[in-house]
Amino acid sequence: MIKQIPTRVLDSCFDLMFDFVDQRLPPLQRNFSPVEELDKPLIITSVEGQIPDDFPEGFYVRNGSNPLFGGFKSSKSILGQSNHTWIEGEGMLHAIYFNKSSNDSSWTVSYNNKYVHSETFKLEKQKKRPSFLPAIEGHSAAILAAYLFNWLRFGKANKDISNTSVFELAGKLYAAAESHLPQEIDLFTLQTLGEYDVNGAWNRPFTSHPKKVPGTGELVIIGVDAVKPYVELGVISADGKRLLHKVDLQYKRSSICHDLGITHRYNVLLDCPLTIDVGRLVRGGPLIKYEGDQYARIGVMPRYGGASSIQWFGVEPNITFHILNCFEDGSEVVVRGCRARESIIPGPEMGIDKFEWFSEGFKPWKSIPQGQNDGSSRDGSLLSRCYEWRLNTETGDVKERYLTGAEFPLDFPMLNEEFIGSRNKYGYTQVVDADASSRSGMGKYGGLAKLYLEEPDRSSQGGNSSEGFVKVEYHMFPENIFCSGAAFVPKLGGSEEDDGWIISFVHNEATDISQVYIVDAKSFSPEPVAKISIPCRVPYGFHGSYIPLPLRSSYL
């Protein structure tokens, strides 16, 4: 329950002190703007190509930011200004349902969307106006005031947004964002059923990227907070009812850990220099800051270990938001993810032009003059490449290298989830369209990539391996078409790792038409096997997942 302490006097002070104003989106950011919630599902009638006969029945669901009241707001007062960022919009789920007729094997396809109705969503919806002050980006005094007023009025520093990802546990679906607890979602209606706190055992933020342990079905989670304990790890039982393990990892700072990894025996922890520091905010600095001159490290700990059992490995400073996979290779723990030189979050400090800052950070590597891409310039610093760390648990040595070249930036990695924690041959990512991202000042993804992790790249002249990179195959979209929330769909009964499809929402900015593409993971480069047109616009979002129905879980 939201703490009921607001008074008429406090609300009057709030109304007198703060004004909410709209943030205008440039034309090239139009598909980042929100859409309305549907009253009922829409039947899809336009399918180009064919949904494969062996495609599993179920639904593809993607989470994303969809701010209330027409778009993002800024709050202005005598203390300065604070702004909503794209990661702070209310969560909205977009889902495509695939149902197969038992008579003639024809497909019925429907689309639905629903807001994640968190407690704070319902509060603002009832008030019919913004009530929480933006508390991440802005002038320090304005951010401090936002924290104070939000706490006094509602008992929490910020909204419960649940806008980042979805995951399944024990036949139940959850929407998550690491600022708060997940929300349970009805599988068929997308209605919000309530917060998930593991029967009262977990009372802190919850990662957007929990990992299901191979073989046991247990779920490994972490939670990051601005105050000590900064980072805690938990292990949830396969039935979702019990917290089997909870430990303070004793981080020295509040490091924003967006992802974690697992192997068959270990948990893999990231500690990158993207930090939350309330003391820094009080001193006039930003609440969240990427400190590229500070240390980065990766930790390896036994599944049920404590803080003292973590073996830390110092690595080159970086920001890695997303892990592709981790596995054990003899005495080494191998970690693969998408690594960048600078963090896209929280964006520039106040007073710096936001559009120019993002445009520089997304500047295509190919356009940067030779000799200026050595890290001394901000150009292209927000773009990520696939990267590998080999951590030797016997010697403490670290080997790190890029897996992919600078031709195409890659992020939002995915794989056949049957291989989480095991050595995998293939990985998949979204491809950043650096040109479009730089022009618009927001990240846009103009294709998909398939990584052949066991095959060297021999595309260079003479057929020699190119700088130790791995082979990459691309599925690029036509101009002005961009994707979000791509996910791997395994073929039922598939015998090989890449038996399946990549499914993704896409949007054509020239025609303003949104579709779902289904791409054959084996025959990757050709046209999608199916393009499903949606009779309304679907904004860009974050992470998606495919949920087969009925759920076939050996852990239920």
Residues annotated in a binding site: 209, 258, 322, 543
Q: 């679906």: which residue's tokens?
A: 173
**Residues with Cβ < 8 Å from 303, sequence gap 6 or more?**
213, 220, 235, 245, 262, 265, 266, 267
Neighbour count for residue 295 (Cβ, 10 Å): 15
Strand intervals (E) in 457-529 = 470-476, 481-490, 500-508, 513-520
CA 173 distance to own-chain centroid: 16
Q: Which residues are annotated as a binding site for Fe cation?
A: 209, 258, 322, 543
Distance between CA 208 and CA 65 in Å, rounded?
14
Q: Give, as one character, the DSSP assignment of residue 309.
A: G
C-alpha radius of gyration, the chain, whole number: 23
Helix axes 140-154, 8-17, angle to 10 degrees: 160
Half-sphere exposure of 151 (CA within 13 A, CB side): 8
Q: Give, as one character, the DSSP assignment of residue 228.
A: S
Using DSSP, state whether 519 is helix, strand or coil: strand
Count the helix, strand and coil residues of the chain and give each as a percent rounded to the nearest 5. Answer: 15, 40, 50
Neighbour count for residue 29 (Cβ, 10 Å): 16
* Cβ–Cβ < 8 Å for 530, 489: no
Using DSSP, state whether 83 is helix, strand or coil: strand
CA nearest neighbour of 158 among 119, 200, 116: 119
Using DSSP, state whether 475 is helix, strand or coil: strand
Residue 145 dihedral angles phi and psi, to the nearest 5°: -65, -35
H/E element holding 149? helix 140-154
- How far the first Cα of the chain sits from its last, in Å, is 30
CA nearest neighbour of 336 among 452, 499, 198, 464: 452
Distance between CA 415 and CA 421 in Å, rounded?
11
Angle at 96 between CA 186 and CA 552, to 5 degrees: 60
Strand intervals (E) in 197-253 = 211-212, 219-224, 231-236, 243-248
Distance between CA 319 and CA 229 in Å, rounded?
22
- The amino acid that residue 539 corresponds to is P
Using DSSP, state whether 352 is helix, strand or coil: coil
The partner residues of 430 in beta bridges, in order of sequence, read: 411, 448
* Cβ–Cβ < 8 Å for 229, 546: no
Distance between CA 111 and CA 534 in Å, rounded?
7
